Amino acid sequence: MLLSMTMAAQAHAEVSKASFGKMPDGTAVDIYTLKSDAIEAKITTFGARIVSIKTADKAGKVDDVVLGYDTLDGYLADKKTYFGAVVGRYGNRIAHGKFTLDGKTYQVPKNNDDNSLHGGTVGFDQHVWTAKEIPAGVEMTLVSKDGDQGYPGTLTAHVRYTVHHNALRIDYSATTDKDTVVNLTNHSYFNLGGLGSGTILDEEIMLASDKYTPTDAGLIPTGELATVEGTPMDFRKSTVIGKRINDDFEQLKRAGGYDHNWVLRGATGETKTAAKVHDLKTGRVLTVTTTEPGVQFYTGNFLDGSFHSNGVTFSKRTGLCLETQHFPDSPNHPSFPTTELKPGEARHWTTTFTFTTEK
C-alpha cells in the first residue's frame, strides 16, 4: 500500500531542465525544475544548489520559502552566504584548518579567521556538478581530486534531489580512493513566511535534541556535549526563535545568535526527526528528518544586507538553516561520530524536508 502510494506520488513528479547561464570560463550551468502535486523545487548544477522551493500556505498562497537568486550572476557574486548549496568536502569548521589522519597532518585553507569553513576557499559550492535526470528528480555528481583544497583522496560525491508529494528528499553518497574525511550538507536558508517577508524571529522551532556542542570564540566545538536544560538552547518544546536569541548567554553572544550543532537522539544512520519549524502567520510547517547525527541550527546572523535579489534584501536573520550533518570539527574530536571514509566504503545518508500547513 505504502509502496504503491510512493510510486503514485513519483509518477506525478515532472522534471525539466533549462540553461542557467555560463561560468566565467564558459562552462554551461543548468537549472532543473522538480514539480510534484504540492511543491516545485529548482536546483542548479552550480554548487548543486537549491534555488527555490515553492509551496502553498494555509490559504493556498504559493511562495518561495528559501533564500536565493534568480540568476547565476547572483550566486557568482556572493561568496559568503552559501545559499542553498551543498557544502563540502567538509561542511562547517575545522579548527586552524588542520587535522591528522593515519598519522599524517593535513592543512586545508583557513577562510574563516583562523579556521576552515565549508571546505575551504573553493568548496563544493563553487563547482559546477554534472547532472542527470532520475525518476522524480535529479542526481548531481562531483569528483573532487586527491589534494583538492588540501584534502586527501579522490572523492566522488553524488547528491540526489527527488520530490515526493509534499517532500523534497536529498540522498547523499560518497566514495574515496584514499582515507579521507567527508561531511556534506545542504545550506538552504528557509523563511516559511516566503521570500521578502522579514525575519524568522517570529517563527517557532522544535529541535529533537537534549544536548548541543558548545563552541569557543571561533565557533569551534570545545568537545563537550552540554545539556540544553535550563538554557536558551532548549527547543525540545516548540519555541519562538526570537524569544531568547538576545539573552545574556555566552554561547549566543559568541555567535551573534543561534549558530550551533545540536546532537540528535538515536543512532547515526537511523532516520529520525531533527526539527520542526512553524510559521504562525502563514501556517507553513517544515519537518526535517535525517540519518545524520547532528543539525546546525543557524539563524542567519551574518546576513548583513549586502546581497539582494529582485528587490528583496537579505538582511540579518531573514532565513534559518538546518544543516543536518556530522558535528563541526569532528576530525579533531575522536569522541564525535567519525567523518572518516575509507576506500571500499560507500557512505550513504539522507535528509528530507517535508512541508505541511497548520491552522
Instruction: State the cell numbers at 21.
Output: 547561464
CB of 82 vs ligand BGC, minimal distance in Å: 5
Residue 74, exposed/middle/buried by CB under 10 A (0-12, 13-18, 19+)? middle
Q: How far is CA 339 from CA 89, 93, 99, 184, 332, in A?
A: 11, 13, 12, 10, 10
Q: Assess 92 for contact with ligand BGC (CB under 6 A).
A: yes
Task: Give the range of 133-141, 176-184, 294-302, 332-340 binding ligand BGC by CB under 6 A.
Answer: 294-302
Q: Could you say whether residue 115 binds ligand BGC (CB under 6 A)?
A: no
- Separation between Cα atoms, residue 128 and residue 233, nearest integer Å: 37
User: How far apart, in whole angstroms, are the C-alpha atoms of residue 284 and residue 53?
Assistant: 13
Please pick, among 203, 204, 292, 323, the residue that the annotation labels catalytic: 323
Check residue 302 for interaction with ligand BGC (CB under 6 A). yes
Give least dist CB 64 to ligand BGC, A: 19
296 binds ligand BGC (CB under 6 A): yes
Under a CB-based contact definition with an 8 Å cutoff, are residues 178 and 147 in contact?
Answer: no
Q: Which residues contact 12 (CB under 8 A, 6 or more apart)?
A: 36, 37, 165
Catalytic: 340?
no
- Is 133 designated active site? no
| Residue 323 binds to ligand BGC (criterion: CB under 6 A) | yes
Task: Give which of 301, 295, 291 is closest to 276, Cα–Cα.
Answer: 295
How many residues touch ligand BGC (CB under 6 A)? 9
Measure the CA dihedral 177/178/181/185, to 10°. Answer: -10
Using the minimum distance from each CB to ligand BGC, give the nearer residue, 296 or 318.
296
Q: How far is the CB of 117 from ligand BGC (least distance, A)?
A: 6
Q: Tell me the closest approach of the beta carbon of residue 256 to ligand BGC, in angstroms.
A: 9
Catalytic residues: 187, 323
Chain residues in the site for ligand BGC (CB under 6 A): 81-82, 92, 219, 259, 296, 298, 302, 323
